[in-house]
Amino acid sequence: MRVVLAPMDGVLDHFMRDLLTKIGGYDLCVTEFVRVVDQIISDRAFLRYCPELTNVSAYGCTTEAGTPVRVQLLGQTPNCMADNAAKVIELGSYGVDVNFGCPSKMVNKNRGGAILLKDPENLYQIISAIKKSVPEDAIVSAKIRLGYEDKSLAIENAQAIEAAGANELTVHARTKVEGYKPPAHWQWIAKIKQNINIPVIANGDIFTLDDAQKCREVSGCTDIMVGRGALMLPNLALVIKQIAPVKPWHEVRALLLDYSEYETYGAKSKYYPNRIKQWLKYLKLQYTEADELFQEIRTLKTAETIRALL
Ligand SMILES: Cc1cc2nc3c(=O)[nH]c(=O)nc-3n(C[C@H](O)[C@H](O)[C@H](O)COP(=O)(O)O)c2cc1C
């Protein structure tokens, strides 16, 4: 079984990837999406999303803990996506992932993300152009939702992605319109899986060991991807693999302090105060103590004051 750490724009950045993969259990990380419009993205911009590109071995780039990292691209123009895909592979990304699930109004208005799920031919063109532009052994993956307004094209979309030569497919088991409203329709992942031959990674609402087991059973997938759950429970991947029990609160609290180490890189930023509050909002869904701590930290504005409190 592989447990993949999901891309989460504005949440799962390289600091969080570093911290969570050091705890362990993750087999792959996917970066926040990098928006491709009509230009080649600069090296500097790619490195901002994926500093792990400076840590490249023969097998591609990894976090410090050794977990491979794959850059995710979001865009709609096949040629431009292909040129940027070739570039990230050259920079050392462990494959390239394509985002066909982003629900953002702005992104969709410009014909990127989930809106592309209305047009299987367009998905085909994008993946096919990327596949032609990268070395044969480079992994090209895609991430989809079940559709835009409805699920009528779910299987056709997956088949188009497979026919274009993608190596694997992650399915977030909801339509764009369903947003994040529970439940995730894991049985739809099974329908997709039955109609294609490439590996399918199941995603959506896996927050506990029990969820992971049920999702794998219902979807028929071996591999899963976790996003919000990884923030609610920092050792979720180890829990799912039954290597460790749920981390006790005092250890999570210590992690919050470890996380402040990363602030030193971004000296004048509000990175840590903002991100710690964001993280506590996820943690409180698993630990009641996190809610109490959030109330204490809510009004603190600097890394120093938060560190002192912790
Ligand atoms: C704040 C946030 C940011 C996200 N950013 C991305 C992204 O950049 N690329 C992407 O493919 N999916 C993105 N997603 C979707 C997640 O990768 C995942 O598919 C979704 O959260 C369902 O999985 P989960 O229930 O394990 O969280 C984002 C989700 C959230 C909540």
At 57 the pLDDT is 87
Measured in Å, residue 5 CA sits from the centre of ligand 1 at: 10
Structure confidence by residue, pLDDT tens digits, 90-137 = 999 999 999 998 888 888 888 888 899 999 999 999 999 999 999 999
At 270 the pLDDT is 84
Six-digit token pair at 108? 């969709």
In ligand 1, the atom with minimum distance to the C-alpha of 174 is: 22
Measured in Å, residue 14 CA sits from the centre of ligand 1 at: 15
pLDDT bucket at 200, cuts 50 / 70 / 90: very high
How does 186-216 read in b/e, with b if 16+ C-beta sit within 10 Å?
bebbbbbbeebeebbbbbbbbbbbebbeebb
Which protein residue has the closest C-alpha to ligand 1 atom 30?
8
> What number is the average pLDDT over the span 13-25?
97
> How is domain 249-309 classified at the CATH fold level?
Bacteriocin As-48; Chain A (1.20.225)
Of 44-48, 267-271, 280-284, least confident by mean pLDDT is 267-271
Of 15-24, 58-67, 121-130, 210-219, least confident by mean pLDDT is 58-67
What residues act catalytically? Answer: 102
At 103 the pLDDT is 85
Look at residue 253 and tell me whether its pLDDT is greater than 80.
yes
At 264 the pLDDT is 65
Reported residue count of the chain is: 310
Structure confidence by residue, pLDDT tens digits, 256-271 = 999 988 876 655 678 8
3-240 in CATH: which number?
A: 3.20.20.70
At 68 the pLDDT is 97
* Residue 143, phi then psi, degrees to nearest 5: -130, 125
Q: Mean pLDDT for the chain?
A: 95
At 156 the pLDDT is 98
> What number is the average pLDDT over the span 156-173?
98
| Closest alpha carbon to 2 in 246, 237, 244, 245 | 237
* Residue 9, phi then psi, degrees to nearest 5: -60, 130
- Number of neighbouring beta carbons within 10 Å of residue 50: 28
Look at residue 58 and tell me whether its pLDDT is greater than 90.
no
In ligand 1, the atom with minimum distance to the C-alpha of 11 is: 1
- Domain spans, the chain: 3-240, 249-309
Which pTM was predicted?
0.96
pLDDT > 70 in the chain, percent: 98
Q: Is the CB of 285 under 6 A from ligand 1?
A: no
> What number is the average pLDDT over the span 22-46?
97
| Closest alpha carbon to 42 in 84, 97, 103, 89 | 84
Q: Is the CB of 229 under 6 A from ligand 1?
A: yes
Q: Is the CB of 273 under 6 A from ligand 1?
A: no
At 31 the pLDDT is 98
* Residue to substitute in 3, 9, 216 for testing ligand 1 pocket (most ligand atoms within 8 angstroms of CB): 9
